[in-house]
C-alpha cells in the first residue's frame, strides 16, 4: 500500500514494486495521475489499483485499508510517501493554519495509515512499514519550519513504532531523501530562490554543490531502497532513518 502516488517518488515506488511482482494499492488526492498510472501498469499486466482519497482523513484511510484487504486479503508493506511541501516563509509569517496543514499532510497522515494497518500485520506476525521522510528533517533549510518539524517528527514516529511493534515481527524504517529531481522540487526551489533574491538555477547549483556527489537524487534511488527495506533481505533492519542524499547528510 503506497500513499502519495500522484507524482515523483510516489509514482516511481508504484512502478518499481508493481514491476517486481507486488500487488499494489496506491492513492493520492488527484484522480487523473492515478488513473494514468494504473492504466500504464495494467498494460504491462501488473496487478494494481489506484484510489483517489485524502489520507489526513480517518474515514478515507479506513476505506483505503478496507479496499486493499477485500481485494488482496492482507497488507504486507505500507509505504507512507504522502507529503505536503508547506510554505516557504519566515517563522513570523507562517500562519497557524499553514503550520497545522503541513503537519497533518506529512505526520498525521503517516500516523493514521500506520494505525490502520497494524492490526492486520500483528495478526499475520509480519510487516514492513517504510516512511518517506526528508533530509530537511535532519539538515533543515531556513523558511521551512513546518516541513522540517514534520519530517523530524517522522523519525521519532519511526523509532517509537519500531520499538513497540518489533516483538510482533513488524519492521518500521524511514528513508530520508535529499533534493529529488522533479516537479515538487522545482516548486520548492522557486520559493527558496525568491527568498534569497537569486534565480532558480543559481539555487539549484548551490544545492548540488553542497553534496560530495554534486548531484540531485533520483526518485528511482529512493524506490530501490524501499524495495530492499520491504524484502526479507533487510529482515534485521528496523528503527533506522536512512539517507539518500548524494552525501549531503551523513548522520
For the segment 243-248, the average pLDDT, to the nearest whole number, is: 96
Q: Indicate whether 182 pLDDT > 80.
A: no
d(CA 246, CA 81): 20
Write down the catalytic residue from 109, 128, 151, 204. 151
Write down the catalytic residue from 128, 147, 211, 234. 147
Among 128, 83, 114, 31, smallest CA distance to 219 is for: 83
Among 158, 159, 133, smallest CA distance to 148 is for: 133
Among 236, 230, 226, smallest CA distance to 244 is for: 226
Q: Is 72 a catalytic residue?
A: no
pLDDT tens column, 77-106 = 999 999 999 999 999 999 999 999 999 999
Q: Which cell goes with 98?
A: 499553514
Q: Is 190 a catalytic residue?
A: no
Q: Which cell goes with 145?
A: 519550519
pLDDT band of residue 67 (cuts 50, 70, 90) is very high
Superfamily of domain 8-180+217-244: NAD(P)-binding Rossmann-like Domain (3.40.50.720)
Q: pTM for this one?
A: 0.93
Q: Is 42 a catalytic residue?
A: no
Amino acid at each position: 500500500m503506497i500513499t502519495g502516488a500522484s507524482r515523483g517518488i510516489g509514482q516511481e515506488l508504484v512502478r518499481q514494486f508493481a514491476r517486481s511482482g507486488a500487488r499494489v494499492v496506491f492513492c493520492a488526492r488527484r484522480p487523473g495521475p492515478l488513473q494514468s498510472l494504473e492504466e500504464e501498469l495494467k498494460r504491462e499486466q501488473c496487478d494494481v489499483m489506484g484510489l483517489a482519497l485524502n489520507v489526513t482523513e480517518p474515514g478515507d484511510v479506513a476505506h483505503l485499508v478496507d479496499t486493499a484487504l477485500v481485494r488482496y486479503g492482507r497488507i504486507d508493506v505500507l509505504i507512507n510517501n504522502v507529503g505536503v511541501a508547506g510554505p516557504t516563509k519566515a517563522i513570523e509569517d507562517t500562519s497557524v493554519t499553514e503550520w497545522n496543514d503541513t503537519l497533518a499532510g506529512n505526520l498525521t497522515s503517516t500516523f493514521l495509515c500506520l494505525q490502520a494497518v497494524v492490526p492486520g500485520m500483528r495478526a499475520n506476525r509480519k510487516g514492513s512499514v517504510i516512511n518517506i521522510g526528508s533530509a530537511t528533517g535532519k539538515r533543515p533549510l531556513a523558511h521551512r519550519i513546518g516541513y522540517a518539524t514534520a519530517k523530524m517528527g517522522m523519525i521519532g514516529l519511526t523509532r517509537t513504532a519500531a520499538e513497540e511493534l518489533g516483538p510482533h515481527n513488524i519492521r518500521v524504517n524511514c528513508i530520508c531523501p535529499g533534493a529529488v529531481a522533479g516537479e515538487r522540487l522545482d516548486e520548492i526551489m522557486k520559493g527558496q530562490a525568491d527568498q534569497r533574491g537569486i534565480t532558480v538555477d543559481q539555487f539549484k547549483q548551490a544545492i548540488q554543490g553542497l553534496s560530495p556527489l554534486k548531484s540531485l537524487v533520483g526518485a528511482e534511488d529512493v524506490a530501490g531502497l524501499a524495495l530492499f527495506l520491504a524484502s526479507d533481505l533487510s529482515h534485521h533492519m528496523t528503527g533506522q532513518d536512512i539517507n539518500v542524499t548524494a552525501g549531503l547528510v551523513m548522520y
